[in-house]
Amino acid sequence: MTKRFSVFFKAVLTLCLCAGLLVSCGRNKPADGALDKDTSYAVGMLIAMEIGLNELSFDYKALSDGFRDVNEGKETRLTTDEAIEKFNAAIAKLQAENNERLWIEGEKNRVEGETFLAENRDKDGIITTASGLQYEVITQGSGARPSATDTVLVNYEGTLLDGTVFDSSYERGGPTEIPLNMVIPGWTEGVTRMNEGSTFRFFIPSELAYGPNGGGIIPPNAALIFRVELISIQR
């Protein structure tokens, strides 16, 4: 499930929970009156933070009216089914817009990656494998070579083509143990070509990385560059 879909389902669930809570509050209203201004504001903050729909622009007067009518047990302008239909339509529109933006961004990244790798493969010292992985030997070690099912101790830094660092064991203060059967294919293939004590630089095409969906801060169809130091195979 993508991050955007996760946000969507979380929003739907939270909205349902909040609606149930508000109906309950409306039916069991305390006799001592309204919450103070700061506490009311805090409730609005927390609901917005939990739902996480900051990509939508609201008519805040209408939003407040809907909240008030449910919370005070008044007759609402829409039925519950109509409200859900409106909400679903807004989310579907937002998702369609996000998909279009992702596709445009992905196509841009795909072209940039293919162009970069086509030029990079002709540089001195660059080796290209049958899968399309490219690598450069910085330091050649003499130790054992891991298999695809081994866990290795490595230091590494991963960057986008523009030099943005998205992951680095150096920044975390030390080497990391990584099971090679639980990482992207380009990593598995690349590290299994290394001997202990080696340092390689990998140029990984999108299809051997995170593909059209991307991952975290990694954009869709992004080619990646890793500098990897293989310290040891964990036995």
CATH number of the domain where residue 127 is located? 3.10.50.40
Given 47, 77, 107, the domain boundary residue is 77
Residue-level pLDDT at 5 = 40
Residue-level pLDDT at 33 = 60
First-last CA distance in the chain: 34
Shared domain check, 200 and 134: yes
Shared domain check, 150 and 226: yes
Domains identified in the chain, total number: 2
In-domain check, residue 108: no
Measured between alpha carbons, how far is 177 from 208 in angstroms, rounded to an integer? Answer: 21
Shared domain check, 217 and 157: yes
Given 27, 47, 77, the domain boundary residue is 77
Low-confidence ranges of the chain (pLDDT < 70): 1-34
Of 70, 63, 62, nearest in space to 18 by CA = 70
Residue-level pLDDT at 17 = 47
Measured between alpha carbons, how far is 164 from 161 in angstroms, rounded to an integer? Answer: 7
Question: Which helix (H) or strand (E) element contains residue 93?
Answer: helix 80-120
Is the CB of residue 158 less than 8 Å from the CB of residue 166? yes
In-domain check, residue 94: no
Shared domain check, 215 and 128: yes
Residue-level pLDDT at 45 = 86
Residue-level pLDDT at 230 = 98
C-alpha angle with apex 227: 141 to 191, nearest 5 degrees? Answer: 55
Shared domain check, 213 and 162: yes
Of 193, 182, 187, nearest in space to 205 by CA = 187
Structural domain span for residue 185: 119-234
